[in-house]
Structure 1
């Protein structure tokens, strides 16, 4: 038996056949469920041409493009601010000073516990009425997303740094590096590789949570889908519009996944091989 830790036994021939059978059955079940849903939608007349005529109108196409831009802009600003918020408060929670660590922990735990929709309501309705500060729908959505998701990302960053073996930081301190140098040159590059999938998942959450802006009439994709689906002159195409919006969200999430894979490949790419002809590759003849 090897000295490494084994989490599970390698499946044998019988187990592999069983897994293949279960995978095939699961695939057939999913395909059957999707086919049943499509069949029921067809029976309900959701695929007749009249229900899809709305997408041919140029004004509606521009309306969807404006909604897409509103969604992407809110997501982009909220994502950048959430990452910055998470990095700052993760550093605060990792601080050796209690006067920094305690307030940072309190802020993170507070905004992780408050539902995002409540935060958006407080920012859009409560702050303007209670403090007299007018906050637009855009910034209400963005700040709410930043406070909630930034607090979650702060815990992700903190957990990623703490997951790096202690020997790495101890060796760096033994070399005379300061804590900031240890964090930026030793711990973060290693922690980022393990944190990347979780960060991507949280960015996808930010993207999808922009849909909550429709409650305060922020004109993003879901708001416009609800508006178009309720138009009787278009036939009330709520399901066709919802399908189109779902496809748009899926496309955006796939783009995020592709970007994440590119970043992941760059992080895991080893040092480039030395070019031939360098001193290391030149053979020195032995006399």
Structure 2
């Protein structure tokens, strides 16, 4: 059973043809909009060479690279904490213990419901009044981690629930404990299923770092705002920043596809080892 088939029905011949037609039309529409935009920019003189010369100079590039480095650092730290925390919350929500299930459910529903910016403001303006005043880096990373962990938890839970119950029943019938079944049989397959959704959330997480302005954290967007105020070249700066975000997200997607291929090759081996351990 493929990842796609486990989550929704595969498209038939007519549906695939409609999807291809809509995809082509959408791409043509986007290309046309981009062409019109560039034409208008050219007519307004925004594409003149003298408006781009700053971005070929070392100090400007280093300034932007520093902002990109801060963005990547905040996003990476948030992901490192949000992924395992989300997995723990997902397992808690699926637990047979009512207390664990209620705690995990409350956490997930709360942080899925509140806006991320509100949580950031709590760390900026609320908690310092009670003596809790972390560094600006953590004032951004902790709120992103809290909100992203709730979304990650639902992604992991969906992957686990998408697996046929026979997978767990087969492991239990071989004498494996519930924990061994979850660790060796269920989770490797569930994680492979949810890789596309995890990548989408990581892209959202990267874009969430743009809220760094609220804590004065010098991430890429904050850096570009400072650069715009200095050069007065708003269009040029934001086009370059947009291109940087696009390239970064494409690299994340390529990395995810690479990991998915690696995990697909390991899933069968992990399942076989689990079965051999149960038989032994």
Q: TM-score if structure 2 supplies the norm length?
A: 0.87
- Mapping for residues 44-83 of structure 1, pairs under 5 Å: 44-83=44-83
Partner of 1:125: 125
The reply to whether residue 162 of structure 1 matches residue 161 of structure 2 is: yes
Partner of 2:186: 187
Partner of 2:176: 177
In structure 1, runs of 5+ residues without a counterpart are 273-287
The reply to whether residue 269 of structure 1 matches residue 269 of structure 2 is: no
Say whether the 8 Å CA contact 2:95–2:101 is kept in structure 1. yes
Higher relative contact order (CA 8 A, sep 6+): 2
Number of residue pairs aligned between Structure 1 and Structure 2: 261
The reply to whether residue 215 of structure 1 matches residue 218 of structure 2 is: no
* 1-structure distance, mates of 2:23, 2:175: 54
Q: Indicate how the Cα distance of structure 1 residues 86 and 174 shifts in structure 2: closer, same or farther if over 3 A, else same.
A: same
The reply to whether residue 243 of structure 1 matches residue 239 of structure 2 is: yes
* 1-structure distance, mates of 2:66, 2:218: 8
Give CA-to-partner distance per residue, 1:78-122, whole Å, 9 cap, x none.
011010110111111111111111111111111111100111111
* 2-structure distance, mates of 1:44, 1:198: 41
* 2-structure distance, mates of 1:94, 1:53: 56
* 2-structure distance, mates of 1:179, 1:160: 17
Q: Cα RMSD between the aligned structures?
A: 2.2
Structure with greater helix percent: 2
Partner of 2:3: none
**1:8 to partner: Cα distance:** 5.0
Q: Indicate how the Cα distance of structure 1 residues 22 and 140 shifts in structure 2: closer, same or farther if over 3 A, else same.
A: closer
Say whether the 8 Å CA contact 1:92–1:100 is kept in structure 2. yes
Q: Indicate how the Cα distance of structure 1 residues 256 and 26 shifts in structure 2: closer, same or farther if over 3 A, else same.
A: closer
Q: Which consecutive segments of 4 or more residues in structure 1 shift more than 6 A?
A: 18-21
Say whether the 8 Å CA contact 1:90–1:157 is kept in structure 2. yes
Say whether the 8 Å CA contact 1:124–1:135 is kept in structure 2. no
Give CA-to-partner distance per residue, 1:112-156, whole Å, 9 cap, x none.
111001111111221112x11212221011001100011100111
Give CA-to-partner distance per residue, 1:45-83, whole Å, 9 cap, x none.
211122112213322222111111100100110011010
**1:6 to partner: Cα distance:** 7.5
Partner of 1:11: 14
Partner of 1:138: 137
* 2-structure distance, mates of 1:121, 1:78: 17
The 10-residue stretch of structure 1 (98-107 or 49-58) with the greater mean CA deviation from structure 2: 49-58
Partner of 1:275: none
Q: Indicate how the Cα distance of structure 1 residues 98 and 253 shifts in structure 2: closer, same or farther if over 3 A, else same.
A: same
Q: Secondary structure at the match of 1:230?
A: helix
In structure 2, runs of 5+ residues without a counterpart are 1-7, 270-280
- Mapping for residues 106-117 of structure 1, pairs under 5 Å: 106-117=106-117
* 1-structure distance, mates of 2:250, 2:172: 41
